[in-house]
Amino acid sequence: MTGGGDCPGLNAVIRAVTKTAIYQYGLEVFGIEDGFMGLVQNRIHPLSANDVSNILTLGGTILGTHNKCDPTRYPVTDSDGNTEFKDVSDRCMDHIKHHELDAIIVIGGDGTMSGAANFVRKGVNCIGVPKTIDNDLEGSDITFGFSTACMVATEALDRIHTTAASHHRAMIVEVMGRNAGWLALHSGVASGSDIILLPEIPYDIDKVCQAVLNRSKHGKRFSILCVSEGTKPKGGELVVDHIDPNSPDPIRLGGVGKVVATDIEKRTGIETRTTVLGHVQRGGTPVPADRVLATEFGHAALQALMQGKENRLIVMQGRTVTDVDLLSAEGKQRIVKLDNPILQAARDVGTSFGD
């Protein structure tokens, strides 16, 4: 099952799990469509080796995904059009028993793992595989999908660079990441961004503007800013694009890049433009690093299951693929710490973090 937002490498995991299960152990494999929604609606079908052939390089997921379905809070509409939220976990359990599923390989981020934890408590053996372009799942140093998203963001920043230089502007690229700044930090450093704004470091707009002006005074007539969607000013609030009441994670961030651009232009007089990358960071063919990592994770998930392990989360710690208690990641988010060596290296070469 794949849950949450899509990302490059999901199909590589599905392929690794399915082919290892069939070729090495003679197991029967089922695919659950559209995350927990497929479990609620009993959209579960067998997967053969042929079904997962030639999908290693494909972005997205052949099983589909869903980032709004929480079986413990499922919207049910009556004949009068009134909607109320009900716990339909028992319905999911009936479907699991009907298909005689011995375990579920759950591929997703922190929200999906929290959903899996509900079924762990009901006696279902869930093996988690961490997936998120935000790289924010507790317990794993890296998640597949992050490297591809970082490449996309870095390339966008590189392209923005030439436009900024030509027009003598300050140019902002807003990247994803929610409340974790990994994507902004890595793509910002990789692209040589002059200013990087992270959720972990609330920015002082006066210092951001001063950094832009200082570059101008030293003959550098443009500035590149990589801004994480979850950043906010000191003493200020997050910029929320909209609220989705039907989602387990209702707050949708977005728009902080425009806020920062408006403030810079108003305070410095320097023309400032914003590009919001949005979902382009999620799509497309996974880079080789994500294909390899996803294959390792999928294989390790099946191996853990066959070793008799229960309710484990496959993680990368250092350079080693291992596993930890799946419940250990529930409700937690891995964020950038202020003593991170990449952050310190960026400071030492003159990058501003607006603080």
Mean pLDDT by 10 residues, the chain (355 residues): 92 97 97 96 97 94 90 86 89 96 93 90 94 89 94 95 85 93 97 96 95 86 93 90 70 88 93 91 92 96 96 93 88 90 96 95
Do 298 and 14 touch, CB atoms closer than 8 A? yes
CATH architecture of 149-283: 3-Layer(aba) Sandwich (3.40)
CA angle 242, 244, 250 (to 5 degrees): 95
Partners of 197 in the β-ladder:
227
Cα–Cα distance list, 285 to 4, 58, 138, 147 (Å): 18, 6, 26, 11
List the one residue out of 170, 164, 239 whose CA is nearest residue 202: 239
Q: CB count, 10 Å around CB of 63?
A: 21
Q: Are 176 and 208 in contact (CB under 8 A)?
A: no
pLDDT for residue 80: 81
pLDDT at position 155 is 95
- The residue whose two tokens read 């319905």 is 91
Going by C-beta distance under 8 Å and a sequence separation of 6 or more, which residues neighbour residue 295? 12, 13, 15, 16, 56
- Alpha helices, H only, 248-318: 256-268, 288-306
Domain residue ranges of the chain, discontinuous segments joined by +: 10-144+286-329, 149-283
Task: Just list the catalytic residues.
Answer: 134
Architecture of the structural domain at 10-144+286-329: 3-Layer(aba) Sandwich (3.40)
Q: Is 192 exposed, middle or buried (0-12, 13-18, 19+ CB in 10 A)?
A: middle
In this prediction the pTM is 0.90
| Residues 244 and 213 sit within 8 Å (Cβ to Cβ) | no
pLDDT at res. 246: 65
State the DSSP string of 182-230: HHHHHHHHHHT-SEEE-TTS-B-HHHHHHHHHHHHHTT---EEEEEETT
How far apart are the C-alpha atoms of 348 and 344, rounded to whole Å?
6
